[in-house]
Amino acid sequence: MLRKEYAENPFQKEEYGRLLKLAQGRRNQKHFSEDAGLIRSYINKYINGMMDKPPTIGTIEKIADATEDVSFEELLAAAGYDPGKHERKETMKGKVDDAGQYLLMPVLASIMNSAYEWSFTYEGYQDKEPVLIEIENAPVRKWYFIPVTKKNITREDIMAVLMNEQNFTSTSKVSFVTKDEKIYDLIKSMQFPLLSLYVSVIRVNGKGIEESEIKTNQETDLKIVEEKSKRPFSIN
């Protein structure tokens, strides 16, 4: 597959490796790679200057999301991309892009291990549509998941999503999913007391998943649970 993006300048692999090590901080490579949603060996090769080709911008975005010690622009420049020509994508709603995929996979795995009677509703992926599962025998009938990576998320941003999506009803639950602790705390502090909708925020990190309900005029006990004892049928 051909790369759709090309670096404007030479790849500074030593500087990029130094920035990766700084981004890793006190975490070991395993935890760092999990937080970034990347393979450990891939991270290791870049840290040790073993890769001659620059990473994709999507990969750089993942790394920038996993650290507060190195900026997206610094990583771009070291990789050879012009920071003035490449804007960082911010996932707020819908399309399950690179950022959304690694956020939602552990959430959906937790649902699969739960005791809920659930099913996926799939009519072919639609751009700008939240991921949806249906729940049986519960006040919540449809549970929507929306990845969020926007750093300066506001109450107005969240309200706009909740009010403008026609499929959300009083039997729907909407969970905003992030790995960023600051985003998680921001959304967790919001309240929508007049809204007839179940709403929560979920944080995914290397250690697990945590969920907090957002105050509306409805409450539910339906939450993410981390049950690791159940396993699907498999051939070993």
Whole-number Å distance between alpha carbons of 162 and 147: 14
Helix axes 40-47, 29-36, angle to 10 degrees: 110
Q: Which amino acid is at 208?
A: G
pLDDT in tens, 185-196: 999 999 999 999
Residue 181 reports pLDDT greater than 60:
yes
- Structure confidence at residue 225 (pLDDT): 62
Q: What is the CATH number of the domain that holds 21?
A: 1.10.260.40
Q: Which amino acid is at 93?
A: K
Whole-number Å distance between alpha carbons of 140 and 142: 6
Whole-number Å distance between alpha carbons of 34 and 143: 26
Whether residues 105 and 197 share a domain: the answer is yes
Whether residues 170 and 122 share a domain: the answer is yes
Domain boundary among 79, 111, 135: 79
Whether residues 126 and 25 share a domain: the answer is no
| 228 lies in some domain | no
- How far is CA 116 from each of CA 101, 135, 172, 185, 234, rounded to the nearest angstrom? 22, 7, 15, 27, 21
| 5 lies in some domain | no
Whole-number Å distance between alpha carbons of 64 and 101: 16
Q: What are the phi and psi torsion angles at 184 (to 5°)? A: -60, -50
pLDDT in tens, 56-93: 888 888 888 788 788 888 999 999 998 888 776 654 43
| 136 lies in some domain | yes
Whole-number Å distance between alpha carbons of 58 and 64: 10
Whether residues 104 and 186 share a domain: the answer is yes
Average the pLDDT over 106-133 and give the result: 66
> What is the total count of domains within the chain?
2
Strand-pair partners of 208: 205
Q: Please list the helix, strand and coil fractions of the chain in percent, rounded to the nearest 5, in that order.
A: 35, 15, 50
The residue ranking higher by pLDDT, 18 or 129, is 18
pLDDT in tens, 128-171: 577 788 887 778 888 888 888 887 889 999 998 888 877 888 88
Q: What are the phi and psi torsion angles at 152 (to 5°)? A: -100, 45
Q: What is the CATH number of the domain that holds 210?
A: 3.40.1350
The residue ranking higher by pLDDT, 9 or 122, is 9
Domain, as residue range, for 54: 13-79
Tokens standing for 118? 């659930």
Contact predicate 201/185, CB 8 Å: no
Q: Which residues contact 46 (CB under 8 A, 6 or more apart)?
A: 13, 16, 17, 20, 55
Contact predicate 157/92, CB 8 Å: yes
In order, the DSSP letters of 146-169 are EE---TT--HHHHHHHHHH-TT--
Q: 151: how many CB neighbours lie within 10 A of its CB? A: 12
Average pLDDT score, the chain: 80
Contact predicate 199/214, CB 8 Å: yes
Whether residues 104 and 141 share a domain: the answer is yes
